[in-house]
Structure 1
């Protein structure tokens, strides 16, 4: 089984009581899900620079990370074709960030197809990845250890 480590950085951007999210096609091509703006770190890139670059790519906004809210780790085994699966470990740094410039626009030819502002109370009704809920929990709770353990209820 092939081992893959992916380190990524994401932003929680809240402005005027609204949360910025990006929309991504589901991997199997059947629908869409909302994600935190952000993405994979390039080799040699600082995570701070990663979140700034990725938010601009996906949303058009320039951001300033104002704090590291926490780190989320995920581990999944994915079956592969011809018996060669992937043991995937994702390490996701979640920053709080403020918009400093730019204008909302959609990413062309990227991993997302649009970005939009959502009231946090509307998030539970959205089709979304679990990192959205974990990011909101980090933002709301600001745990000293920088991690949220177990299932997250975004209504809390």
Structure 2
């Protein structure tokens, strides 16, 4: 029987303030790369909950999603063939926890303009980074309730 294909589900926050976007610089096997706060969806959490968690872990900022920018897919064939499905959100940046350590591999956070992001594509960890920013700038927004979360997601005994 052939191996079943499954995409890796990720979440990302596109956060803009005063014409600049919050990014993280992280250590990767390809060197220091840039990304929006992003990461893998964990079992038992909704995409919005995962985005809240990842943003806090990677930036030490609380985040409240207010809209879904879109659902994106990309494929990489570096060490292995992986397809990523990204749920990108925009929202409100909240309190900063100054003493909170950032996730392993995150070197720092930084604020970049759209022009700076466009000029640094060689350093983008994900090919979806720029598309998400462009969609934000184009005003794309979808209501959060476009994602239906069945009760079984939060029920560890479901199955």
The answer as to 2:117 corresponding to 1:120 is no
Q: In 2, Cα distance between the equivalents of 1:70 and 1:105?
A: 32
Structure-1 separation of matches of 2:22 and 2:61 = 10
Q: How far did residue 6 of structure 1 move?
A: 1.0
Does structure 1 residue 131 correspond to structure 2 residue 128?
yes
| Aligned pairs, number | 137
Mapped to 2, the partners of 1:105 and 1:69 lie a distance apart of 30
Whole-Å separation in 1 of the counterparts to 2:137 and 2:35: 17
Answering whether residue 50 of structure 2 is matched by residue 88 of structure 1, we say: no
Structure 1: gaps (5+ residues): 80-85, 146-156
In structure 2, the residue matched to 1:42 is 42
Per the alignment, residue 82 of structure 1 pairs with none
Report the CA distance between 1:75 and its aligned residue.
Answer: 2.6
Q: Taking structure 2 as the reference length, what is the TM-score of the superposition?
A: 0.74
Question: For the Cα contact (< 8 Å) 1:59–1:105, is it kept in 2?
Answer: no
Q: TM-score, normalised by structure 1?
A: 0.75
Unaligned runs of 5+ in 2: 143-159
Match 2:8 to one of 6, 30, 37: 6
Give the Cα separation in 2 of the matches to 1:57 and 1:49: 12
1:24-61 CA distance string (max 9 Å, x none):
22324xx2110010110011211100000000100010
Cα contact 2:70–2:87 (8 A) shared by 1: yes
Alpha carbons 1:58, 1:106 under 8 Å: kept: no
